[in-house]
Structure 1
Amino acid sequence: MTDQRHIAIAGASGLVGHSILLNALDDPSIGEVHVLCRHPVKVSHPKLLEHQVDFQLIPPLPAINEVYLAIGTTMHQAGSRAAFRAVDLAINLAVAQAAIAAGAQRIGLVSAMAANPKSPFFYNRVKGELEAALTDLSPQGLVIARPSMLLGDREALGQLVRLSETLTKYVSQAIKPLIPQNYRPIEAPKVAQALLNHVPTADRTIILRSGEMQTA
């Protein structure tokens, strides 16, 4: 492997994952960007290498330094608790395990603001369980981003626009000074950049709360 970093991204079709992809392609310190996807990401670049995979059976990955995990769904899209857990926990964990087997020493994760493995709320509990499972893999560095509600152009990515995000965006703009920084909606590119800023040199577990990422 050269002095340039080689990274892998899972979830590059989502709001944060797509921003990670675009920023990584522009980063001269990164030599290769491996994207694990079910469908083409519709981006062309000399550094981009797409791997269309079945996430239920991930093949051996090329040598990489870092992996960024941005795969996620909603309870509505998943349809059941089991299906949600299979995506948000099992797939992300499987990608991380494959990345470590390929030499990755650092992991960047898009989690949730209230992630907690002991949470009474299923969504937050699954997010917390994933954080704990990744910690158990003992990477050299693990950077966990816990954003509040994400803002971004889902329509441009071919995703359904979420009414809750649209409403929150306009309401929060009106009362922004009254909302604690960690609870303000955050633009997806800021979360992506915060991960890209911290993962390359992480030597421990770092948790990035939403307020910290607002200035990324």
Structure 2
Amino acid sequence: MNKTAIILGATGLTGGMLLEQLIADKNYSTIKLFSRNSVANSSEKIEEFIVDLLNLETSAKDFTADEVFCCIGTTAAKTKDKNRYKAIDFGIPVAAAKLAKKNHIQTFVVMSSMGANENSTVFYNKTKGEMERTILQQNIQNTYIVRPSLIGGNRDENRVGERIAKGVMSLLNPLFVGGFKKYKMIHPKTIAIAMKKLANHPQNQTIFSSNELEEIAKSKK
């Protein structure tokens, strides 16, 4: 099988691990990366498109593949202006979904977050919820939304508050059982593995929480 995948956000933590998963998978012959900066990877599978992601529509002719993986996201601390925040967390994934629909790409896997709710009074959760709703409205045949809780791993940025939260969560993780499993901290590699498996094994379900992503990643499929 010679599949082509698109990744948006390959320079990020989870997107970078997803890229590694696809490079190692013999089923993928081409991996198109749409980003603002180049990745530090020389795999012959990679085709890079250095673009303005806020104007993704201008890349329509190159936006062709079997699957799209969208790992785009920012934080309130990193992007304080709410208009720019929404342009990134809502605008880019939605633009990607619309291009996927236009170019007849039948699989779209997007990272959202736990707590996403279009009716929320919390701006972050509301933006994620509105993004999910608009993407689902595109009616792409295989659409999968992943909602991880706090993501572990080491980032390049110096996020003191996040490091403290991760330390606390690592201690609390064993206490999250039953219906609380979705609150467990999850490693980005686990998310990446689950996203790839979702694209390759169609599901009846659309939205997946952290504990479900853990189960998918561990499955033998």
Give the alignment's TM-score, normalised by structure 2.
0.89
Determine the structure 2 residue equivalent to 1:77.
78
Q: Post-superposition shift, 1:81?
A: 1.3
Determine the structure 1 residue equivalent to 2:174.
177
Determine the structure 2 residue equivalent to 1:140.
141
**Larger deviation, residues 199-208 vs 132-141:** 199-208
Q: Where does 1:33-48 land on structure 2 (aligned, <5 Å)? A: 33-48=31-46
Retained in 2: the 8 A contact 1:72–1:87? yes
State the distance in 2 between where 1:169 and 1:62 align. Answer: 36
Q: Where does 1:91-102 land on structure 2 (aligned, <5 Å)? A: 91-102=92-103
Q: Post-superposition shift, 1:172?
A: 2.5
State the distance in 1 between where 2:117 and 2:71 align. Answer: 18
Q: Percent identity?
A: 29
State the distance in 2 between where 1:74 and 1:93 align. Answer: 18
Letter in 1 for 2:189: P
Retained in 1: the 8 A contact 2:170–2:185? no
Retained in 2: the 8 A contact 1:144–1:205? no
Q: Deviations over 1:157-188 (max 9, x none)?
A: xxx13223322222223333223321111111
3-state SS of 1:186 partner: coil
Q: How many correspondences in the alignment?
A: 210
3-state SS of 2:14 partner: helix
Letter in 2 for 1:195: M
State the distance in 2 between where 1:22 and 1:130 align. Answer: 26
Letter in 1 for 2:158: V
Retained in 2: the 8 A contact 1:142–1:205? no
Q: Post-superposition shift, 1:205?
A: 5.2
Determine the structure 2 residue equivalent to 1:206.
206
* Matching residue within 28, 50, 53 for 2:51: 53
State the distance in 1 between where 2:210 and 2:183 align. Answer: 7
Retained in 1: the 8 A contact 2:150–2:166? no
Determine the structure 2 residue equivalent to 1:106.
107
Which runs of 5 or more structure 2 residues have no equivalent in the other structure? none
Retained in 2: the 8 A contact 1:36–1:50? yes
Q: Post-superposition shift, 1:138?
A: 0.5
State the distance in 2 between where 1:56 and 1:121 align. Answer: 23
Which runs of 5 or more structure 1 residues have no equivalent in the other structure? none
| Structure 1 pair 147–25 and aligned structure 2 pair: CA distance change class (3 A) | same
Q: Post-superposition shift, 1:36?
A: 0.2
Backbone CA RMSD of aligned residues? 1.6
3-state SS of 1:85 partner: helix
Retained in 1: the 8 A contact 2:54–2:88? no
State the distance in 2 between where 1:208 and 1:96 align. Answer: 18
**Larger deviation, residues 160-169 vs 37-46:** 160-169
Q: Post-superposition shift, 1:18?
A: 0.9
State the distance in 2 between where 1:186 and 1:134 align. Answer: 24
